[in-house]
Amino acid sequence: MTRPGIQISRLSGEAFSIMRISSQRHDLPPGETLPLSDGYSVIVQLRDFADHRLYRGGGLIHAGGHAAGSLAITDMRETWRCDHRSPFDNVRFHLPRAELAAFAEGEGRRKLVELRSPQGARDDVVFQIAQAMAPALADPASASRLFVDQMTYALAAHLLHAYGQTSGHPHRGGLSNRQKVRATDFMAAHSRRDVSIAEIAEECGLSRGYFIKAFRAATGVTPHRWLIEHRVSEAKALLSTDMPIAQIASICGFSDQSHLTRVFTRVTGQTPGAWRRQLRP
């Protein structure tokens, strides 16, 4: 999708992809018919969208606007076209049916039938997920795979619960102690690279979606948060030495010194330099 006057940024997770699409123009040309695919497009508006025309199968199904936080779920096996007649800013998640069905199965549901939501309904959960993804969409090259995967799986779990027509019931449980140790040992051993949910879940013999919930139940934090705190803990230890802070950032898996400083300050309330100074007499 490339059209003059429209800004697009993209992120890809293990199973799902995300785009942020925006425009400040009132005079965009009519939209093109979107390509067919065996999946769903989940769109949430980040700002009020005053006016557009939405067509399905060649017929007009909506004329007007949507408020910030409004949600639309479209089955991409049908033909869709949208004419944007006012400025807009939205996040779009593409969820292949096969991946969503596999996630549902991992949740203990036997079969995904479909996703369905009222057109334009407000969904604060999806809105918050989209807002949380905004910094990663602004700088895709620096986005953490673990964070992106967690957010998209959280989205999938919410959509299945709120809008999914499935059979079966979610199973209950958590990580065994062995699985917990395997997961944390794996993340610690690979903390200097951008690990994925799939890798850690496979290490534990679990589905990706179930692993995230089970890990949080077992540890009280998400895998991404655990890894961040582990990296900060490693940085604290190295700050007791004379090693340059830029080198510590590289060793502990941060992209650069400023990245370490932002994360370290958010976790501890102090900059790395201030932490180092308080260790010295």
Q: Which tokens sit at 200?
A: 């850690």
Q: Are residues 23 and 129 in the same domain?
A: yes
Residue 2 forms part of a structural domain: no
- Dihedral, CA atoms, 270, 272, 277, 278, nearest 10 degrees? 40
**pLDDT in the model for residue 53:** 92
Q: Are residues 58 and 143 in the same domain?
A: yes
Q: How would you write the pLDDT of the chain (281 residues) with one tens digit per residue?
A: 567 889 999 998 777 899 999 999 999 999 999 999 999 999 999 999 999 999 988 888 888 889 999 999 999 999 999 999 999 999 999 999 888 888 777 766 656 768 877 777 888 999 999 999 999 999 998 888 889 988 988 898 888 878 887 655 545 557 887 888 889 888 888 888 888 898 999 888 888 878 888 898 888 889 999 999 999 988 998 898 889 999 999 989 898 999 999 999 999 999 999 999 887 76
Q: Are residues 184 and 265 in the same domain?
A: no
Q: Are residues 202 and 118 in the same domain?
A: no
Q: Which tokens sit at 119?
A: 């057109």
Separation between Cα atoms, residue 72 and residue 65, nearest integer Å? 12
Specify the number of domains making up the chain: 3
**pLDDT in the model for residue 158:** 87
Domain that holds residue 130: 7-167
Q: Are residues 201 and 241 in the same domain?
A: no
SS (H, E, C) the chain: CCCCCCEEEEEECCCCEEEEEEECCCCCCCCCCCCCCCEEEEEEECCCEEEEEEEECCEEEEEEEECCCEEEEEECCCCEEEEECCCEEEEEEEEEHHHHHHHHHHCCEEEEEEECCCCCEECHHHHHHHHHHHHHHHCHHHCCHHHHHHHHHHHHHHHHHHHEEEEECCCCCCCCHHHHHHHHHHHHHCCCCCCCHHHHHHHHCCCHHHHHHHHHHHHCCCHHHHHHHHHHHHHHHHCCCCCCHHHHHHHCCCCCHHHHHHHHHHHHCCCHHHHHHHHCC
Q: Are residues 213 and 141 in the same domain?
A: no
Residue 1 forms part of a structural domain: no
**pLDDT in the model for residue 132:** 93
Q: Read off the CATH number of the domain in which 270 is found.
A: 1.10.10.60
Q: Are residues 213 and 120 in the same domain?
A: no
First-residue to last-residue Cα distance in the chain: 59
Please identify which residue in the block is written with the tokens 């005079």. 27
Q: Which tokens sit at 34?
A: 């979107």
Query: Residue 107: which of 207, 15, 197, 222 has the closest Cα?
Result: 207
Query: Residue 63: which of 47, 97, 86, 46 has the closest Cα?
Result: 86
Please state whether beta strands 39-45 and 88-96 pair in parallel, antiparallel, or not at all (unpaired): antiparallel
**pLDDT in the model for residue 18:** 95
